[in-house]
């Protein structure tokens, strides 16, 4: 079977790479929320702008809840930052501090298997305390809290000193504002074949349809995220397409792993569905992918207590890969990646006393590459054997090396 030309630009991908307000078939339902984007262009040309589009400043008001940015690792409420070693809300922060200072000893009456969520986190203090410790909260941080208070500025203030890291964070925040609308735009799409359709007993458990919608949503957001990055706007449409085709799958894997760092034996999808490892075999037979994401990426992320700034830096390092298939101007891409790597190293030196932090984080990339390739193969096989539908965007950005649906026998 003849392989797809990596430089081939379909109308689907071209429509995404145009300036944000050119009509796009897959984003027609998003035009109503274009307040985040620049005014419509009156030009009918399909060429990219000569200068990179300016990004609006981050809004001063709190952003909507984002699973990648603001979820408490204990109860899944809105997080307010990293407290005592774990990303958490003020409620769980205060609970942990009071428990340690008063040397409280709690007992669970229900077998240490209570539901620790926003609405039920006060039901069992024992399970809540166990969850705090499991996600990395440290009791010695409470004692030393008074000693360091007022003597050093918060990490968020220090991050502002690095313009590269701050620009990546701004891009992430802008894209997260589109998340709710992207989810709504795929509500009517169907990725599950009717004869294989299943109805889970728990509405939070993911089905084949939920997995397909989550992949599509992430692809849309990845394209919008890429268009907000200055180095990306300096590339030709062909090189932009090459980067998206080569690296979208890896970004999906890293994103779902980072969102799932507070879950036990489950992946937290972009549409807030849970894909548990025990159920993955019945959801497009992706059980091996789910297991590898948990073992090879989620577990190290928890162990290193990776935060959002480090995640967005890794995301950019993955994306600007100078050896991506079909890339022409590899020097610009290599220069951009070097800047992101150096920014990650500076942050490691500032907050973790050495470059070994950046090296440890970069060791996650080979697993992202290998798991992404396996995910792509599983999506292709699910389509071939009639287990799931694949839309045009998935075909263009994930299955470019495989024959399209029309070319299948």
Domain boundary among 131, 152, 173: 152
| Domain CATH for 284 | 1.10.565.10
257 bridge partner residues? none
Q: Which residue has the tokens 């990725």?
A: 191
- pLDDT per position as a tens digit, 256-274: 999 999 888 889 998 888 8
Q: Which residues pair with 87 in a beta bridge?
A: 82
DSSP alpha helix (H) spans, 102-201: 125-134, 140-143, 145-148, 155-159, 163-176, 179-185
The answer to whether residues 192 and 303 belong to one domain is yes
Query: Is residue 251 a contact partner of residue 318, using CB atoms and an 8 Å limit?
Result: yes
Structural domain includes residue 74: no
Q: Do 174 and 314 share a domain, yes or no?
A: yes
Domain limit, last residue, from 110, 132, 152: 152
Question: What is the C-alpha end-to-end distance of the chain, expressed in Å?
Answer: 11
- In this prediction, residues 95-116 reach a mean pLDDT of 84
The confidence score (pLDDT) of residue 10 equals 54
Residue 47 domain-assigned (yes or no)? no
Those residues with Cβ within 8 angstroms of residue 140's Cβ, 6 or more apart along the chain or in another chain: none
pTM of the model: 0.63
Least-confidence region, from 52-61, 299-308, 316-325: 52-61
Q: Which domain holds residue 313?
A: 11-28+59-64+162-407
In 3D, which of 126, 45, 138 has the Cα closest to residue 100? Answer: 138
Whether the per-residue pLDDT at 402 is higher than 60: the answer is yes
pLDDT score for 397:
87
Examine the domain organization and report whether 299 and 199 are in the same domain.
yes
Q: How many domains, in total, are found in the chain?
A: 2
Are residues 399 and 271 part of one domain? yes
Residue for token pair 């909507």: 64
Tokens at 12, concatenated? 């689907």
Position 344 confidence tier, pLDDT thresholds 50, 70, 90:
very high
Q: Tell whether 185 is covered by a domain.
A: yes
pLDDT in the model for residue 120:
84
The answer to whether residues 23 and 44 touch, using CB atoms and an 8 Å cutoff, is no
Q: Is residue 72 part of a domain?
A: no
Considering the domain architecture, whether residues 259 and 289 belong to the same structural domain is answered as yes
Residue 33, in any domain of the structure: no
Q: Let me know whether 134 and 233 are in one domain.
A: no
207 and 236 both lie in a single domain: yes
- Least confident range from 1-10, 28-37, 256-265: namely 28-37
Residues 89 and 208 in one domain: no
Q: Is residue 258 situated within a structural domain?
A: yes
State both tokens at 395: 């075909």
């Amino acid at each position: 079977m003849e392989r797809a030309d990596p430089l081939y630009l379909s109308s689907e991908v071209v429509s995404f790479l145009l300036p944000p307000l050119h009509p796009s078939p897959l984003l027609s339902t998003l035009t109503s929320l274009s307040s985040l984007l620049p005014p419509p262009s009156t030009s009918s040309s399909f060429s990219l702008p000569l200068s990179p589009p300016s990004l609006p400043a981050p809004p001063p008001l709190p952003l909507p809840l984002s699973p990648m940015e603001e979820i408490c690792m204990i109860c899944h409420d809105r997080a307010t930052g990293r407290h005592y070693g774990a990303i958490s809300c003020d409620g769980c922060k205060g609970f942990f501090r009071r428990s340690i200072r008063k040397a409280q000893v709690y007992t669970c009456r229900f077998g240490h298997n209570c539901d620790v969520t926003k609405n039920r986190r006060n039901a069992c203090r024992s399970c809540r305390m166990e969850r705090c410790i499991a996600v990395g909260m440290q009791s010695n941080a409470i004692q030393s809290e008074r000693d360091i208070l007022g003597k050093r500025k918060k990490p968020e203030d220090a991050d502002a000193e690095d313009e590269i890291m701050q620009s990546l964070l701004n891009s992430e925040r802008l894209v997260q504002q589109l998340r709710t609308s992207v989810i709504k735009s795929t509500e009517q799409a169907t990725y599950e074949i009717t004869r294989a359709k299943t109805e889970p007993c728990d509405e939070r458990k993911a089905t084949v349809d939920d997995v397909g919608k989550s992949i599509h949503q992430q692809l849309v957001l990845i394209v919008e995220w890429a268009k907000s990055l200055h180095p990306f706007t300096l590339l030709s449409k062909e090189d932009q397409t090459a980067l998206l085709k080569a690296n979208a799958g890896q970004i999906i894997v890293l994103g779902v792993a980072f969102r799932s760092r507070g879950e036990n034996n489950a992946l937290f999808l972009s549409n807030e569905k849970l894909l548990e490892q025990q159920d993955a075999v019945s959801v497009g037979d992706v059980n091996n992918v789910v297991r590898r994401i948990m073992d090879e990426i989620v577990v190290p992320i928890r162990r290193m207590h990776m935060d959002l700034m480090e995640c967005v830096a890794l995301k950019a390092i993955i994306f600007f890969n100078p050896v991506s298939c079909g890339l022409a101007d590899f020097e610009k891409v290599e220069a951009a990646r070097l800047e992101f790597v150096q920014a990650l190293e500076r942050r490691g030196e500032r907050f973790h006393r050495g470059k070994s932090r950046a090296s440890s984080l970069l060791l996650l990339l080979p697993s992202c590459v290998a798991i992404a390739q396996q995910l792509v193969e599983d999506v292709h096989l699910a389509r071939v054997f009639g287990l799931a539908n694949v839309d045009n965007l998935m075909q263009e950005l994930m299955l470019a090396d495989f024959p399209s649906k029309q070319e299948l026998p």
